[in-house]
Structures are given as structure tokens and as C-alpha cells.
Amino acid sequence: MMRLLQAVGQNSLAAATGVGDFAMFTSRAVAAASVTRHLGRRWVRAVHEQGVRCLPVVAIVGLFAGLVLGLQGYYVLSRFGSEGLLGTFVSLTLTRELAPVLASLMIVGQAGSAIAAEIGIHRTSEQIDALTTMGIDPIGYLITPRLFAALLVFPILTMVFSLVGLAGGYISGSLLLGLDPGVYWSAVHNAIKPSDFRECLLKALVFGVLTISICCHSGFTTHRRVGVAGSRAVSASTTRGVVLASTATLAADYLLTSFLV
């Protein structure tokens, strides 16, 4: 019993320390924006790394999500003779829930893993120490541009996901199953309110900062992985970053939704 209590206590302390360390890390990355030189150039590169490279996967997943929603929605709604509400169903599901969550998960899988691995390699090959000895703040140089890029990339890719998803719903609902296109698009138009749009953007921003910070932090602390070193530590950091960021996305989604609904 004592051992169990001890283990719970130790793990709780470790978790609290980890959260505190993560919060400090993110705060330092934000604060470093005011002193980091040539931040704009590195920000543009980070936007390309996160945004342009993730665009295809986000668009493809958005299309299939919309196709499936259109298909499932049509068959469920037709049981009640409410096929005309398909546009409402697809648009609200996408805007309020699926677009921010799935876009975030896709960006984490594509860009977040790459970020964690790259920063992990910087750590294991002493490049981060080299920055420190050159008088360059490694957090400002490596983390800040990526964090600020997420503020632009996540909302834009979430919007892309929503638009492509709506098109997917239209393809399966109207083109394949015969729902009148005017009924579909007018339901979409009437369903989405400014508050839904705001909720969608807010979620995208929160997920962006949270997930990219987690991936960056995971890579940055590669040297602290217990029991592994070198390439295995980089691999462990990448896995940890993706798993934590994905879990954090879903947990934050629940919290945000419960406050915003």
C-alpha cells in the first residue's frame, strides 16, 4: 500500500514538474520574440514547413471526412425524412468539431513529428549547446518562429479542411445521392453563425499553440529521456511529442467545447 502511494506521489510530482517546465518553456518562447533577430525570415520558413507541406494531407482528409459525413448524414436523416438538413449537419459538425480537431491531428502527424525529430537531432548533435556558446538563445532561434507560425497555419488549414469537407458533403449528398444542390448549400449558408466560426478559429489557435509547443518541448528535452540516447532518444521524443500533442488536442477540445457550448 505504501509503495502504491509512493508511486502515485512520485508520478504526480513528476507530472506537475513536467507541466511547470512546459509552461516555462512556452513562456520563454513567447518572450524571446522581442529579442530574436531575423525572426521574420525563420517565421516564413516555419510557415512553409507547417503550412505548405501539410496542405495536401489536410485537404485529402477534409475531403474524405466530408464525403463520409455526407453519406452517413444522408442515410440517418432520410430515416426521418429530413434529408434537407444534410447541409446543416455537415457544416456544423465540420466547423464546430471535426475541422479543428482533425486538421490539428493531421498537422501534428506531418509537421509536429518532423519538428520534434529535427529539434531532437539538434539536441543530440550538440547544435543547441553550440547556439548557447555562440550567445544565441536556442529557444528564440528554434522554437519561437515555429510557435508563431502555428498561429497562422492552424486557422488557415482548419478553414481549408472545412471548405473541402463541405465540398465532400456536397459530392456525396448531392452528386451521388441526388439531394438538390440548392437545398444543400442554402442549409449550409443558414446553419453557420459567426459564433460557430469564432469557436472554430479559437480552437484552431489553441490547438496550434498547444501541439507545436508540445512537439518542440519534446524535441528540446531529448537529452532528458531516461534509459535511451542518440537516435533512440530522438525516436522516443518524436513518439512522445506526437502522442502527447494528439491527446492534448482531444482534451483541450473537450474543455473548450464545454466552455463554449
Partner 1 sequence: MSQVDASILLEVRGLRKHFGDHLVLDSVDLAVPRGSIVSLFGRSGTGKSVFLKCLAGLLAPDAGKIQYDSESLGDVRMRCSYLFQSNALFDSLTARENVALPLEQTTRMGKSEIEQAALRALKSLGLEKFADHFPAQLSGGMQKRLALARALVTQPQMVLFDEPTAGLDPPARAAVFEMIVEYRHQFDFTAVIVTHDVAEALAASDRIALLEEGRIRFEGTSAEFGAADDCIVRSFSDNYVTIRPGFGK
Residues lying near partner 1 in the complex (CB under 8 A) are found at 36-38, 122, 125-127, 129-130, 132-136, 141
Residues ≥6 apart with Cβ < 8 Å to 230:
124
Query: Closest separation between CB of residue 193 and partner 1, Å?
Result: 45
Give the residue with the Cβ less far from partner 1, 36 or 91: 36
DSSP helix/strand/coil, 74: helix
Query: Closest separation between CB of residue 137 and partner 1, Å?
Result: 9
**Residue tagged 510557415 (cell numbers):** 47
- DSSP for 84-137 reads GGHHHHHHHHIIIIIHHHHHHHHHIIIIIHHHHHHHHHHHHTTHHHHHHHTT--
DSSP helix/strand/coil, 190: helix
DSSP helix/strand/coil, 179: coil
Query: Closest separation between CB of residue 111 and partner 1, Å?
Result: 16
CB atoms < 10 A from the CB of 30, how many? 15
| Distance (Å, whole) CA 18 – CA 44 | 30
Query: Closest separation between CB of residue 62 and partner 1, Å?
Result: 30
CB atoms < 10 A from the CB of 53, how many? 13
Query: Closest separation between CB of residue 131 and partner 1, Å?
Result: 8
Give the residue with the Cβ less far from partner 1, 21 or 126: 126
Give the residue with the Cβ less far from partner 1, 61 or 142: 142
Give the residue with the Cβ less far from partner 1, 19 or 35: 35
Give the residue with the Cβ less far from partner 1, 36 or 249: 36
